[in-house]
Structure formats: C-alpha cells, structure tokens
Structure 1
Amino acid sequence: MPLVVLCGRPGSGKSRRAAELREALGGAGRAAHVVTEAAGGRAALRAGVQRLLNRRDVVIADAGNEARSIRYELHCAARQAGTASCLLLCRGGRDGPDLPPFEAPDPRDRWDRPLLALREDEPLPLDAVRAALFESDAPAPRRSTRPQPLRSGAFLHGLDRLTQDVLAAVLAAQRDGALPGEPLPVPGVPEGLVLSRHVGLAELSRLRRQFISYAKMQPGEENLPQLASMFVQYLSRSIQ
C-alpha cells in the first residue's frame, strides 16, 4: 500500500537505497516493488507506480524526481489510492550544466512531506520510514486527485494569457536593469515579484508549464487574479 519516493541527484545512491528498502520493507504477505524511470521517462514512472499501488504492498519510486511537478504527481497518485507516502532525499551526487536542474524538496509543500534526508555514508532511517508508512493514517483522496471535468476554454485562455504576461514583465524588468532583490512590477499583483537572481526565458517557461499543470488540477479554482498571485508566489519559491 505505501509509497516511498526517492529523490536526489545522479550518483547520490538512490538505487542502493531502493534495494535496501525493498529488502527491509518486504515480508510475509507484503511485497516491495521498485519502479525505475526507464525508457518511458516520467510518464512511464508514474504509470508504473499507479499500476502497483494497492492496499497491501510497498511501492518504491527509484528515480531522480528532481522537479516539484514530478513529486506532486506521485503524491496525487498516493492520495488517489488512499495510501501513505514519504519522500526520501539522498544528498550528494553529481551536479552540472548537462544535468537536469534539481529542485530541492521543501517540507512546506505537502507533496514533499514527510521528508527524510540522508547522506551516502548514513544508514537508512528505517524506523522513521516505517513510522511514516505504517503508523500514520492513510489520507483520504482529495478532490484534486480525482478526475476533474475539463476546464472551460475561457479559463484556459485566461490562465495562458496571465502567465505569459507575468513572464513578459519579468523579462522586461531584467532587460531594463532590475537587480536581484528589487521588486519587479507584475500585472495584477500589487506587491510585485522579488527574485534572488537573474532568470532566463527557458527556466521561466519551464516553471510556467509546471504551474499551469498544477492550476488545471485545482477543482473549482477559476479566480484568475488569485491565480496570478499564486503564480508569482510559485516563481518566488522556485527560483532560489
């Protein structure tokens, strides 16, 4: 039944931890399955996890899961199955411009908790993992994890337009010489946006796509001014 989501940079020991978890958590009457990010990538990982989640077995997602949006999707899969889950961050590993950007887990986000972290030379925190998986109440599925009706065309157009306008304002302010730490004027958000560093179009576009996917899954939320503020907060927290 429970889901363990591994998270970390390449070379941080995730596969070794997955093998340790499978050995420790499997047993009589309960199997422990490891799902890896194979050729199908993110979609295949999510499909494999959803296929194996049940009321008895443990599922271990062995992948980098470097993006918040990936971890959110796995969190929703666990909620939809009515099962507990936890996130195990493997610290260390490799970093570099040729690798995907790593968005570190934030325990303030519900999809990143309970968060357990360890270095490569530390023992697996099995007591904490077992407590998170077997001693906590299984969450009731939220409305956002259930299939939702298609959004109206007007809402989707408005969401696309407002997020594009925010990106355009950020890029224009940076071109005009705005420095990190200065409030950037953003349409519809009086407090503006404060960034800690200069951000390029590619990174902003990626974060915009992630936010749109998130916003589409929020049932009944079609308040575009409120979503503009949420998008600004999302950018502020994602760009460190």
Structure 2
Amino acid sequence: MPLIVLCGLPGSGKSRRAEELREALSAESGGERRVFLVAEVAAGEGGGGGRAALRAEAERLLSRRDVVIVDAGNELKSFRYELYCLSKHTGTPHCLLLCPGGAPRPDRPPLEAPDSRNRWDWPLFTAPEDPSEPLPLPEIRAALFERRPPPPNQSTRSQPLQAAGFLHQLDRLTQDMVAALMAAQRNGVGPGQVIPLAVEGLGQEPPGLLLSRAVSLAELSRLRRQFLSYAKMHPGEGEENLPQLGSMFVQYLNSNLL
C-alpha cells in the first residue's frame, strides 16, 4: 500500500492535513487496511538523528498492505528522494502533498520546493491554504490506489551498458567528493566552515559542504554507500544528471552529519 509524504514549512498545517488524510483513508478502508501516521516529533525531531529515525520508522512500516503517511517538513529534496526510494524498493506507489504557507525557522533547513518533473516529487498535490477547504481526496486516492506500483528494482534485472557506465561515473564522483572532504580537513578546515567541492563532474558551480563537526573517512564511506544504494534503484538516467546527483549527495551529507 502507498506512501504519502507531506512537505512544507513549519506552521503550514501539515499535521492537521495528515490527520485529515488518516481519518479519510481509514474510514474508506472499513478496517481492511491500516493507516499509519509517522510524525517527525514522534521520531525524534531535529537534526540528522530525527530524519534518520523518521526514515527508519517509515521503512519499518512500509508494506504492500498498509498506508504510511509521513508527517514532516521534508524540506530537503534529497530526503524526499530517500523516501521515494523506500516506496520503490517496497513496490508500492507514493505521492507528495505540499502544504503551502508557514514560515521558515532558523533551526530548520530552507524549503527546496517540490518539482513534479522529478520522479520523487510526482505525483504532486497541493493542499488549499484555507484550512476549511478539503483536500483533493479523489485525485489522491486515484494516484495511490489506481496507479500501478513502480517497476521492480533495477538490481533484479539485466542493466544496459549505459546504466552501468552512469553508475560507475557516479561512484567515481562521490569517491572524489569524499577524498576532497578528507583533504580539506587535513588542511585545517574545521567546524563552521564551508568545504568547496570543485571536483570534476560537478559543473561550473560546485556545491559546498558546511562542516558542522569533524568526520572520519569511515563515516563518510558509510554514508556514500547508502547514497549509492538509493541511486542504483534508478540507473540509466544519463550523464546530464551527474551534477544534480552530486549536489544531492552533498545535501545527504549535510542532513546526516549534524
């Protein structure tokens, strides 16, 4: 059964809309399926630990039988990508509900607006800003229950040479980024400073990592393997997406190295 990911700034009404979804889907099922609500506060809000706990709880509950609603800001597109990969791995549809309004907070990352052209942000629905207006439930139901699940993980099928070459380049790119991070630390870059990642394959405006603490090669290598495992679920996207995936790797590190 599907995964519903809520996205929005603090104060945008995500929790109210999540409960509205839970009640509507529970009533429609007549007890035939459970509807789980995974909230960020319940998973340990704040910091990389909170997002890691949220992801782990969603992964534990995801199945072909039940519905999982993730009630969290999900401001980073890299984290929305992770959740999409979880649903793909389980073989169940997913959708994104954007709650407009609210306001940024200094303890939260800025909102990277969803883009329906990205597979991890599609299908994308927007909740009405007026809380008295109902959600587009018929459209959400159709996207979740009348749409085929994503195809099996590519790792279970023969891969084209283009996909293998692309994954090899992504592997080399992330290796170079990890090496650049370690070299910067050896050269005296410390917490609170931004490490530029001007490595080949990241384009003319490479992203930078805000180093919040000293990190070891073992920790960076573990996070790199995790990121690559998600990327391998979507091989064959083409070399033109390497800079974007490189930026997503930096965001993934930023969200897990707090």
Contact 2:155 2:233 in 1 (8 A): no
| 1:16 equivalent in alignment to 2:16 | yes
Q: How much is the aligned-residue C-alpha RMSD, in angstroms?
A: 4.1
Contact 2:91 2:152 in 1 (8 A): yes
| 1:160 equivalent in alignment to 2:175 | yes
Contact 1:211 1:234 in 2 (8 A): no
TM-score normalised to structure 1 length: 0.68
**2-structure distance, mates of 1:71, 1:131:** 21
**2-structure distance, mates of 1:213, 1:128:** 33
After TM superposition, the structure 1 = structure 2 runs for residues 80-95 of structure 1, keeping only pairs within 5 Å, are: 80-95=89-104
After TM superposition, the structure 1 = structure 2 runs for residues 71-220 of structure 1, keeping only pairs within 5 Å, are: 71-121=80-130, 122-143=133-154, 159-161=174-176, 188=200, 192-193=203-204, 201-202=209-210, 214-219=227-232
* Paired residue secondary structure (2:64): coil
State the number of aligned residues.
Answer: 206
What are the Cα deviations for residues 15-55 of structure 1, in whole angstroms up to 9, with x where unaligned? 00110001101131122110112215112212211222222
**2-structure distance, mates of 1:221, 1:84:** 15
What are the Cα deviations for residues 75-100 of structure 1, in whole angstroms up to 9, with x where unaligned? 11111111111010111111144431
When residues 52 and 237 of structure 1 are mapped into structure 2, their CA distance, relative to the original with a 3 A threshold, is: closer
**1-structure distance, mates of 2:86, 2:25:** 20
* Displacement of 1:104: 1.2
When residues 127 and 8 of structure 1 are mapped into structure 2, their CA distance, relative to the original with a 3 A threshold, is: same
Contact 1:194 1:236 in 2 (8 A): no
Contact 1:193 1:236 in 2 (8 A): no
Task: Give unmatched runs, 5+ long, in structure 1.
Answer: 147-154, 169-185
Contact 1:36 1:63 in 2 (8 A): yes
* Paired residue secondary structure (1:33): strand
For 2:3, the equivalent position in structure 1 comes to: 3
**1-structure distance, mates of 2:69, 2:233:** 32
Task: Give unmatched runs, 5+ long, in structure 2.
Answer: 158-169, 184-197, 212-219, 250-258
For 1:181, the equivalent position in structure 2 comes to: none
For 2:37, the equivalent position in structure 1 comes to: 34
